[in-house]
Structure 1
Amino acid sequence: MSWKKTIAAAALTAAVSATVVSAVSAATPVTVKKAKPPVVAAAPINVMSTNYLINGADALIHTITLNGKKLVSVGDLAVALGADFSFKGNNVSVELNGHIVKLTTNSDKFTVDGVQQKLPAAVKNVQYRNFIDMDMYLKGLGVTVTTDASGTTWIDADLLPEADSAQWIGDGKLLVAHDTEAGSFKSIVDVKTGEHRILTDNTEIAELVVSPDGKKAAYTDSQGAVWVMDLGLETSKKVSDDASIKPELVWSPDQTAIYFLNSEKSNSIKKLNLADGKISTILDDKKDYKENLQVSADGKVFTYQQNTMSKVTDPGATEGQDVVDDGLTIDPSAATTNICQFVNDPSIKDNAPVQLTNSTDDKMFVKAMADGNSVVYIKVGADEKTKSVLNSVMKDKTVKTLFGDQDVLQAVFAGNNKWYLLTGGPTGKNLIYEFDAVAVTSKQLYTVSDSVSDIIAQGSSLAIIDNGIIYAQVNGKWRPVSR
Structure 2
Amino acid sequence: MNRNMLTVIATSLALSTIISTSAVSAAEVNKGQASIAAVTKEAAKASNLSIGVDGVSNNIRTLNVKGTVLYSVRDIANIFGADIQAESKSVITLVGGNPAQTITVRVNSGAYEVDGATKNFSVAPLEQKGVIYAELNALVEALGGEVSGSGSKLDVVSVKPLEGDFSSPRVNSNGEVIAARESDGTVQLYKWNPTYRVYDALTSNENAASTAVSPDLKWGVFTDESSQLYLLDLSLGTAQAIGKDTSVKTDLTWSADGKKVYFVQGDKQEKIAYVSVDSGKITSVLADKVENKSDIRLSADDKTVLYAVNITGVAKNDKDSTEDSLSIDFSGAGSQLFTLDLTAKDAKPVQLTTSTDNKLYPNLLSDGTIVYVSGDADGAVENNVLKVVQAKEKKVSDLVADLDVSLAVTSAKGQLIIVATEKDGKSSIYAVKSDGSKSKLYTNDGAITEVFPSADGSQVAVIENGQVKLAANNQAVTLTK
Q: TM-score, normalised by structure 2?
A: 0.74
The answer to whether the Cα contact below 8 Å between 2:144 and 2:160 also exists between their aligned partners in 1 is: no
The residue number in structure 2 matching 1:113 is: 115
Report the 3-state secondary structure (helix = DSSP H, G, I; strand = E; otherwise coil) of the residue aligned with 2:140: helix
Q: State whether structure 2 residue 365 is matched by structure 1 residue 369.
A: yes
Provide the rounded CA distance (Å) in 1 between the counterparts of 2:477 and 2:300.
34
The answer to whether the Cα contact below 8 Å between 2:419 and 2:430 also exists between their aligned partners in 1 is: yes
Aligned pairs for 1:209-248 (under 5 A) are 209-231=212-234, 236-248=239-251
The answer to whether the Cα contact below 8 Å between 2:387 and 2:397 also exists between their aligned partners in 1 is: yes
Q: State whether structure 2 residue 127 is matched by structure 1 residue 91.
A: no
Residues 140-179 of structure 1 show CA distances to partners (whole Å, capped at 9, x for unaligned) of 222134569xx97642113674542222222423344343
Provide the rounded CA distance (Å) in 1 between the counterparts of 2:332 and 2:129.
76
Provide the rounded CA distance (Å) in 1 between the counterparts of 2:300 and 2:187.
33
Provide the rounded CA distance (Å) in 2 between the counterparts of 1:437 and 1:174.
27
Provide the rounded CA distance (Å) in 1 between the counterparts of 2:118 and 2:161.
28
The residue number in structure 1 matching 2:53 is: 54
The answer to whether the Cα contact below 8 Å between 2:179 and 2:468 also exists between their aligned partners in 1 is: no
The residue number in structure 2 matching 1:419 is: 416
Provide the rounded CA distance (Å) in 1 between the counterparts of 2:414 and 2:469.
24
Provide the rounded CA distance (Å) in 1 between the counterparts of 2:385 and 2:124.
57
The answer to whether the Cα contact below 8 Å between 2:332 and 2:356 also exists between their aligned partners in 1 is: no
- The alpha-carbon distance between structure 1 residues 109 and 159, as it changes in their structure 2 partners (threshold 3 A), is closer
- The alpha-carbon distance between structure 1 residues 426 and 211, as it changes in their structure 2 partners (threshold 3 A), is same
Aligned pairs for 1:333-344 (under 5 A) are 336-344=334-342
Provide the rounded CA distance (Å) in 2 between the counterparts of 1:379 and 1:470.
27
The residue number in structure 2 matching 1:294 is: 297
Report the 3-state secondary structure (helix = DSSP H, G, I; strand = E; otherwise coil) of the residue aligned with 2:256: coil
Aligned pairs for 1:67-82 (under 5 A) are 69-82=68-81
Provide the rounded CA distance (Å) in 1 between the counterparts of 2:85 and 2:422.
50
For structure 2, the 5+ residue unaligned runs are 1-20, 316-328
The residue number in structure 1 matching 2:283 is: 280
For structure 1, the 5+ residue unaligned runs are 1-31, 313-330
- The alpha-carbon distance between structure 1 residues 241 and 107, as it changes in their structure 2 partners (threshold 3 A), is same
AA paired with 2:82?
A
AA paired with 2:91?
N
The residue number in structure 2 matching 1:358 is: 355
The answer to whether the Cα contact below 8 Å between 2:97 and 2:143 also exists between their aligned partners in 1 is: yes
Q: CA RMSD in A?
A: 4.1
The residue number in structure 2 matching 1:17 is: none
| Greater share of residues in helix | 2
1:410 aligned to which of 407, 411, 428: 407
The residue number in structure 2 matching 1:157 is: 158
Report the 3-state secondary structure (helix = DSSP H, G, I; strand = E; otherwise coil) of the residue aligned with 2:411: strand
Rg larger for: 1
The residue number in structure 1 matching 2:306 is: 303
Provide the rounded CA distance (Å) in 2 between the counterparts of 1:310 and 1:154.
58
Q: Which piece of structure 1 moves more, 268-277 or 93-102? A: 268-277
- The alpha-carbon distance between structure 1 residues 302 and 102, as it changes in their structure 2 partners (threshold 3 A), is same
Q: CA deviation at 1:55?
A: 0.5
Report the 3-state secondary structure (helix = DSSP H, G, I; strand = E; otherwise coil) of the residue aligned with 2:45: coil
- The alpha-carbon distance between structure 1 residues 78 and 464, as it changes in their structure 2 partners (threshold 3 A), is farther
AA paired with 1:263?
G
The residue number in structure 1 matching 2:318 is: none
Residues 413-454 of structure 1 show CA distances to partners (whole Å, capped at 9, x for unaligned) of 33666334433348674334333224x322334443424444
1:379 aligned to which of 362, 365, 374: 374
Q: CA deviation at 1:354?
A: 1.0
AA paired with 1:114?
G
The answer to whether the Cα contact below 8 Å between 1:55 and 1:194 also exists between their aligned partners in 2 is: yes
- The alpha-carbon distance between structure 1 residues 415 and 245, as it changes in their structure 2 partners (threshold 3 A), is closer
Report the 3-state secondary structure (helix = DSSP H, G, I; strand = E; otherwise coil) of the residue aligned with 1:390: strand
2:396 aligned to which of 396, 399, 408: 399
Q: CA deviation at 1:121?
A: 2.5
Residues 307-364 of structure 1 show CA distances to partners (whole Å, capped at 9, x for unaligned) of 356999xxxxxxxxxxxxxxxxxx9999843333233465567x2441425223x443
Report the 3-state secondary structure (helix = DSSP H, G, I; strand = E; otherwise coil) of the residue aligned with 2:78: helix
Report the 3-state secondary structure (helix = DSSP H, G, I; strand = E; otherwise coil) of the residue aligned with 1:247: strand
Provide the rounded CA distance (Å) in 2 between the counterparts of 1:230 and 1:417.
23
Q: TM-score, normalised by structure 1?
A: 0.74
Provide the rounded CA distance (Å) in 2 between the counterparts of 1:182 and 1:111.
36
AA paired with 1:376?
V
Provide the rounded CA distance (Å) in 2 between the counterparts of 1:75 and 1:59.
13
Provide the rounded CA distance (Å) in 1 between the counterparts of 2:476 and 2:125.
33
